[in-house]
Amino acid sequence: MDLELTETQKSLQTAARSFLETECPWTVVRDLHDSDSGYSPEMWREMAELGWVGLFLPEEYEGAGGSLMDLIILLEEMGRALLPSPFVSTALLGTQTLLLAGTDEQKASFLPQIAKGQLITALALLEANPDYKAASINTRAEPDGDSYLIQGTKIFVRDANIADYLICVAKTDSKAKPEDAISLFLVKGDSPGIACTKLNTIGNDRQCEVVFNNVRVPKGQLLGQLNGGWDIIERVLQYATLAECAEVVGLTQKVLDMSVQYAKERVQFDHPIGSFQAVQHMCADMSTYVEGCRWMTWYTTWEMEAGLPCALDISRAKVWASEAAQRVVRNGQQIYGGVGFTLEYPMHLYFRRAKCSEVIYGNPESHRRVIADDLLG
């Protein structure tokens, strides 16, 4: 096992940080959060031109053929900058679902468009009982001639408001057990019968409610085998959960860096506050949480790339990342004091993003159940 970054990965890290510090300072993030779309189409096109959107795509689909670790390094920098973009929804969830389940024709049609930044996707998965289990899927897709009619409501669909295509997870067999009754469909975002409503979340992170009211989808837009979609979703969610951990690494590292710098500069009682033991210990704790999050994420990435069983380590990494984000941001706000909660400083944006991270792709309690079931049976 070698977790040392290659020279290429170090160059990617440096270039990504430079680009995002220039193009996506925290003031831009704040403004984008308040915009209707929640992201910058111009910045998205630039990211595509840099090869980021197709980084984890094979070269045959006009991607860069990068490794999973390359992607993790890039996601860390995006987390550090709090980049508002449909990157995970499109360049990870969309591409991996297509690669795992799509036909040759579907892959040849959609993946090059994604790599060029010409097509945005969103995964329509969660419903009224928002957990990541097949039994929670009640949206139905019924055959009707050469099409399917989709009926149901999805919630917390990230980037649905800007998506060209939705990957809809629907039940297609009422008699089989849930894991054997799920199929995936590529649905145009502007199809008749779709109603998309942007939800008001603490992170302003483009989460939406999507209502499918007898939406007609051609049978050629079925992704993968009929009733064989849940295995694909489970694999894609592993990637998504690891990606979230990577973004948390960048988020917490930036909060630590800001807090240490502030502690050195802020003077109280004729001394920098960093000279006080309480502040020193908070910084030491933050560093411990950040490094723990980084190494658990990197180790699990290595396992996935090596083809080793990693489901439990993904859950362990997600528990650590979710709680590390809360603790690091809380300490950062304590070090900043009252200004850590104001709109004139960036810390409040990291707080909001950390709260979103706590629950997306499973909260700590759900991942603890996975670990406990393995330990205790």
Q: What is the pLDDT of residues 230-280, one digit of tens each?
A: 999 999 999 999 999 999 999 999 999 999 999 999 999 999 999 999 999
Task: Flag whether 105 is in a domain.
Answer: yes
Whether residues 221 and 352 share a domain: the answer is no
Q: How far apart are the first and last CA of the chain?
A: 30
What pairing do the DSSP bridges indicate for beta strands 194-198 and 207-218? antiparallel
DSSP 6: P
Q: CB–CB of 17/80 below 8 Å?
A: yes
- Give yes or no: residues 115 and 163 share one domain: no
Q: Look up the pTM and report it.
A: 0.95
Q: Is the pLDDT score of 126 beyond 80?
A: yes
Residue 2 inside a domain? The answer is no
Tell me, yes or no, whether 242 lies in a domain. Answer: yes
Does the residue 1 lie in any domain? Answer: no
| Residue where one domain finishes, among candidates 74, 97, 119 | 119
Percent of the chain's residues with pLDDT above 90: 93
Residue 183 is assigned to a structural domain of this protein: yes
User: Do 34 and 136 reside in the same domain of the chain?
Assistant: no
Predicted local distance difference test score (pLDDT) of residue 129: 87
Total structural domains within the chain: 3
Task: Give yes or no: residues 256 and 294 share one domain.
Answer: yes
Which secondary-structure segment (H or E) carries 240? helix 230-265
Q: What confidence tier does 104 reach under pLDDT thresholds 50, 70, 90?
A: very high
- Whether residues 334 and 248 share a domain: the answer is yes
**Cα dist from 255 to 12, 170, 279, 316, whole Å:** 21, 39, 14, 22
For the purposes of burial, counting CB atoms within 10 Å of the CB of 331, is it exposed (0-12), middle (13-18) or buried (19 or more)? buried
| Helix or strand run (H / E) with residue 367 | helix 364-376
Over the stretch 40-56, which tens digit does the pLDDT of each residue have? 999 999 999 999 999 99
Query: Same structural domain for residues 77 and 92?
Result: yes
Same domain, 168 and 96: no
Residue 1 pLDDT level (bands cut at 50, 70, 90): confident
Does residue 205 sit within a domain? Answer: yes
The model's pLDDT over 286-313, given as tens digits with 9 standing for 90+, comes to 999 999 999 999 999 999 999 999 999 9
DSSP character at residue 89? I
Q: How confident is the model at residue 147 (pLDDT cuts 50, 70, 90)?
A: very high
pLDDT at residue 375 is higher than 80:
yes
CATH number at residue 175: 2.40.110.10
Pairing of strands 165-171, 182-188: antiparallel
Q: How confident is the model at residue 90 (pLDDT cuts 50, 70, 90)?
A: very high
Q: Which domain holds residue 163?
A: 122-227
Distances in Å between the Cα of 155 and the Cα atoms of 116, 200, 337 are 28, 12, 36
> What pLDDT band is residue 36 in, cutting at 50, 70 and 90?
confident
pLDDT value at 75 more than 80: yes
The DSSP 8-state label assigned to residue 88 in this structure reads I
Structural domain contains residue 364: yes
Across residues 193-208, what is the average pLDDT? 92
Residue 188 near residue 148, CB atoms below 8 Å? no
Q: Are residues 254 and 338 in the same domain?
A: yes
Same domain, 184 and 197: yes
